Chain A
């Protein structure tokens, strides 16, 4: 079983609120990723990190930001949530060229 955790699993929040989605892994992986997935659609990379203090934007433009202060922790923040941010957010981690392990996801609904 993969040791990567996301909280919360479900979040319903009002427009304009600031939110942080948490992602932690205990496998010591250098690489971590955030993906956005709408129902029935493919995963889109929105952020990734090679290691501590290294973050890059992914393919899909996102208004979210990330930080990587510790190897095991890769939180994603939305400063002002909007209904268009409603989606499922998946966090993953991997060692170099090995399989990626995914968290259970956070299903975000902005009303």
Chain B
């Protein structure tokens, strides 16, 4: 069964600190993996998208890694800011259908305290 598991479910850190969010998936055949940021009451916004051959991709203070062999990904946030408080969602796409089906994790709820 195609699944995406994220950990931790929630995380509280102090402003300026770094953190790492985890994503494990069983989606096959794998096409790409995306990390989205979703502010409360708003639609998800894409942070990074990584294909099978990419190991690391950065977007400002966000760095995503992908290990396609172990089917694991991480999102590292450096020098956290209050505006980073949001839900971070890992989304994996398969290539077994014309749809490029998306499988969503439940997200990690990050709270940054001053």
A97 and B31 in contact, given A42-B105, A50-B98 (Cβ under 8 angstroms): yes
Which residue of chain A has its CB nearest to the CB of B93? A97
Q: Are B34 and A99 in contact (CB under 8 A)?
A: yes
Q: Are B100 and A104 in contact (CB under 8 A)?
A: no
Interface footprint category on B: 20 to 34
A102 and B100 in contact, given A42-B105, A97-B93 (Cβ under 8 angstroms): no
B14 close to chain A: CB less than 8 A:
no
A48 and B45 in contact, given A42-B106, A42-B107, A99-B34 (Cβ under 8 angstroms): no
Contact with B along A68-111 (1 / 0, CB 8 A): 00000000000000000000101010101111111111010000
Q: Which one, B43, B49, B99, B107, contacts A48 given CB within 8 A?
A: B99
Q: Are A101 and B99 in contact (CB under 8 A)?
A: no
B6 to chain A, nearest CB (A): 9
Contact with A along B70-114 (1 / 0, CB 8 A): 000000000000000000010101010011101011110100000
A71 to chain B, nearest CB (A): 16
Residues of A within 8 A of B (CB): 2, 6, 31, 33, 40-43, 45, 48, 50, 88, 90, 92, 94, 96-105, 107
B residues 16-50 in Cβ contact with A at 8 Å: 31-32, 34, 36, 41-46, 49
> Please, how many angstroms separate the alpha-carbon atoms of A41 and B70 in the complex?
26
Chain B residues closer than 8 Å to A42, beta-carbon distance: 89, 104-107
The total number of A-B Cβ pairs within 8 Å is 51
Q: Are B102 and A45 in contact (CB under 8 A)?
A: yes
Which residue of chain A has its CB nearest to the CB of B106? A42
A34 to chain B, nearest CB (A): 12
Q: Are B99 and A99 in contact (CB under 8 A)?
A: no
Chain B residues closer than 8 Å to A31, beta-carbon distance: 99-100
Which residue of chain A has its CB nearest to the CB of B45? A102
Which residue of chain B has its CB nearest to the CB of A98? B49
A101 and B98 in contact, given A40-B109, A42-B104, A107-B41 (Cβ under 8 angstroms): no
